[in-house]
Each structure stands twice: as structure tokens, then as C-alpha cells.
Amino acid sequence: MNITTSAASCLEYVFTDSNFFFDHSISDKLLRFYQQNKPISGEICVYGDYLQPLGCNATPDYINNCKNVMSMSDNLIATRRKVYDLLRGSPLSVLALKRSKFYHIGTLSEYVESYCDSTDLRSELGLSKFSFSACVGCNSSEKEARVGGCIMHSLVTDQCSFDDRSVVEFCKFDAGGVTVQENCIISNCVYDGNSQLTIPQNTFMQTVPVFDPKGQPMYVTLLYSVKDDLKAKVSSFSEAHNLSYFQRSLMSVRPGVTSDELFGEGCPLTLWNAKLFPLSSTAQSSFLLALSCVNSFISAKKRPLIPQQASEVTSLKDSSSNECFSNGHANTQLINGKCPSNGDSREIINGCAPSSSLDNNYVDKNPNETDAKSADLNKHKVLYSFADIIKFKDAQRMIEERNDLATLIKHAISPP
């Protein structure tokens, strides 16, 4: 909430509430409420419901005000009234913060700006652009200057190059060189090959350990442009071509699919729910798969970025995803994340995704088919959306892998 104190002063204040605490008596009430009313199908939240009944001046006037509700359910009003009756009269205490600065780090672009550009933020919080990381081949005095960017909890080599406006976190690039261009966020990625790789500008990549639908451990790499709007929403599937993914129509990435195949049954039509990311057996093969895809997206310039008519989508036979999964030579040499034996990385950079690095359960294979269209993204039986990745994330494995990475970083900083 922005408030200007007066027209003359033009002083602007931002007030923010960040944390909420309640004691065991409230916990008991909420637990009993859930047991008596589960499953909770209405959308109830801290701002709209839990805070409103508190204090001595609370009234139920808000209960029927649903203008900010994203999804209206049949029993929402009744549920909100029950919450009001449950918490009505509970004491409310407010801790007033001292006057301070406010930094908003809620978007990918703001993440890069805050950690790479904002000298005030770094100085006020004592942040370093090279934090708990090790650069193999760099001495301690030159590592930050040679590596560039903002590097956090990562193991890299002196062959790596990071633009000053790039963020690399929880990554293991400890063999060949990885070049990260401007305005990128690279998270939890692994590469130990010998070839030089380049991650193009404006790319967000994050490798996540997940379970497949059968409960088997796999990996998937989130891949977006930093400029993509994950909250952009269309009201019908016929308008899905208006969703932009890497400055191209989303429908050019997965042409010919139904709404349920692309977004999932009953899900909002957004990039958050778009099933775009195939499973892979290792973290490195997942990273290489995503990297070859983003380069194919960028190099595919045969079609307009966003088709003006829905009918144009059906003619996108040269879509970037088709190119991404069509190079058989790269496939055979990128199994389990291995680079071409001749050391030429162009087949990774400008070539295609290592579909052979995926388990047979996740990709259809027909040795008699050589057409690129037979190996496009739609051939993968299991594709996850961002929402799916959150649902199936293996948090325990992620913690264990980050602990292992921390051990490697410690040994690189101070060899035993």
C-alpha cells in the first residue's frame, strides 16, 4: 500500500506485513476446525479470512466480499463464516517496524537486479557476489573478478564465464567451461563434461529432483525466459496461442495437443500449468536437454513470434520443439549427459535434445522414423508443468544433494 503524506511533501511510504505468529491455543482451534470440516474446498487465506476476525473491532462485513477471490466455490461463503465464528474475539497484536527500505524480489527480473545491480542492498545486508562458492583454478584474490556475476553455493572452474548480470546458485560446473550470458538465473544445474557450453541471455533454468508418476526418482529442468509471464492467463484453449513462451507462441512448442494434454484437466490456462518439461534419468542429462531446447527455441526464426490468428498455430510444422528432439547423432552421444567424443559442443549448443538420455518409459522410439516431426516434444509420454514439479518434488533428495555439494565446496576451498 502506497501512501503520500501530503501533496506538498510528496513523501511516499510503503507498509508491508511479512510474518504472522499464533500460539498453541489458535493452533488447536485450527486443527479441530480442519478435522470437523475437511476437505476444505473454499479458498481461505491469511489476509482474507484469518486476520479479519481478530481484535475487538472485527465485523463480519467482509464475508460476502469476494472480489479478490481467484476461484469461487459453492461453499466459500459458509466456510468463511465458520472461520469468522472460530476466530472472532481472538486478540491481535501488531509489531510496528521502524522506518526502513523496502526491496521487492518477487520476479525473475527483480532477482537479477537485486543481486547483481543493487549495490545498496548488498552493502546494507553485507552480501557478497561470490558467496560460499569455490572456483577451481582461481586464487582467492581473483575469483570474484574472473568469474563475474553473482555466484552462490556453487562449484565452478576458471574456464567458466558469467556475465555481470547473471545469477548462478547451487550449481556444479567443475570440469568444462560454462558461459552464462546476460540476465540469466541458473539454479541447481550440473555439468561435468569437457565441452564449452553457452547458456543464452534471458534464460531461467532450474534442475529439480522429482518422482515420476510411478514413484521412481527422476530429474526435470524448469526452463523459461526471464521475460515470460507465468501468471498470464487465457480464458479458453482457442486463445492459448496468445501465451508467450520464449517470445514465441506456446502452441508452437506443443502443436496439435488438447487442452487437457497441455494444461491438465480443469487447470487454469497459464504457463504455470503448461506441461513442457520432460523427465530425465540424471541431473546432467536433464540440464543438457533443457539447454539444447532453449537454443533451438532461439534459433527457430521461420515463424512469427506470436501468431495473430489461432488458425496459424496448426501450420507450425517447423516449430522449435520439433527441431529440439530431432538430431539423432547428438542423441547417441549425449546419453547420460556425455558430450560428443570429438569435443565439438556445437551439437549441444545449436543441436538437439538427448532423447536417448531419457528412460524408455518416457519417450516413444521408432527406428524407422527419421522425420523430425516424429521426435518432437509431444512424443514424450510424461511431461511435467511447474505445478507438477512442485507436486512431485523430492525435497529430501534435493537437501542431500546440496549437502554433498557443500562438502565438495568446502574441500575445494580448504583441501584436506
The chain-wide mean pLDDT, for the chain, equals 77
Residue 111's pLDDT band (cuts 50, 70, 90): very high
pLDDT at residue 75, rounded to an integer: 79
309: pLDDT strictly greater than 70: no
Convert the pLDDT of each residue in 138-153 to its tens digit.
Answer: 876 666 666 788 999 9
377 touches 253 (CB < 8 A): yes
pLDDT at 363 over 50: no
Single-letter code of the amino acid located at 1: M
Percent of the chain surpassing pLDDT 90: 40
Q: Which pLDDT does position 156 carry in this prediction?
A: 93
Tell me what the mean pLDDT of segment 168-195 comes to. Answer: 93
Could you tell me the pLDDT band of residue 331, with boundaries at 50, 70 and 90? very low
Among 12-21, 24-33, 50-59, 244-253, name the one with the lowest average pLDDT: 12-21
Helix H or strand E segment including 288: helix 283-299
Q: Enumerate the domain spans of the chain.
A: 24-87, 110-401
d(CA 355, CA 335): 8
Residues 6+ apart with CB under 8 A from 131: 151, 152, 153
Q: What is the pLDDT of residue 378?
A: 61
Question: What is the rounded distance in angstroms from the CA atom of residue 155 to the CA atom of residue 406?
Answer: 9
Of 330, 296, 322, 333, nearest to 375 (Cα)?
A: 322
Which residues face 191 on adjacent strands? 173
Between 37-51, 108-122, 178-192, 387-401, the lowest mean confidence (pLDDT) is in 37-51
